[in-house]
Amino acid sequence: MDELPDWMYPPRAEGWFADDLDHLPQAPPHTELLHGALVFRLAPQHPWHNGLATRLTSALAELAPDGVLARTRRSVTLDEWNRLEPDVLVSAVTDDPSCTGYRPREVVLVVEVVSPESECRDRGVKFHKYAEAGIPHYWIVDEEDGAPVAHVYELEQATSSYAPAGIFRGVLERPVPFPISIDLARAAD
């Protein structure tokens, strides 16, 4: 086995910290930090995945009230050891071009579009991490018989865990975090 490049070794015995990602230009795009370990997304995303994430971001941006922004390719720093990059992030803070990530209190919704490479993290680890961080809304969008299906969750404050809020095929309609009506089939085209 070839020796790993020097930049892949953590700068300290405790592992990587979330802020270290800002100083790691050699890392591949979309590198995440999970429990102090780097997670690389090296497999290219399927065009269905990328297209759906882009169209969901656009749809949410159009529906969002003033001061609420929908973004892709932005990370959320959950704590010192965890910095994740959801497929779609909706934030209630002013956009700052120098911002490399958001804090959980600034995020109202995260959306993960499931791919074979990310399924375990999206349904398991990220599901729990986002809830523990206090992000109010989480959607997992998957493919079912060639069409998108959205599993929608809301944070139960008393338990810091997500409760199911619905499974949507066709049109996703929700009153929170703001009035939303998205034709999922159209978003997948």
Angle at 101 between CA 168 and CA 62, to 5 degrees: 45
The pLDDT value given to residue 41:
81
Kindly report the average pLDDT of the chain as a whole number.
Answer: 92
pTM above 0.85, yes or no: yes
Q: Are 104 and 133 in contact (CB under 8 A)?
A: yes
The pLDDT value given to residue 59:
97
Better-predicted residue by pLDDT, 42 or 148: 148
β-strand partners of 182: 172
pLDDT at 43 over 70: no
According to CATH, the superfamily of the domain at 47-188 is tt1808, chain A (3.90.1570.10)
Domain-wise residue ranges, the chain: 6-39, 47-188
Region label for 15, one of left (φ > 0), alpha (ψ between -120 and 50) or beta (otherwise)? left
pLDDT at 98 over 90: no
Lookup result for tokens 């704590």: 79
The pLDDT value given to residue 130:
97
pLDDT at 88 over 70: yes
Q: Kindly report the backbone phi and psi dihedral angles of residue 39, in degrees, each rounded to the nearest multiple of 5, phi listed first.
A: -125, 120
pLDDT at 100 over 90: no
Which two three-digit tokens encode residue 143? 């493919």
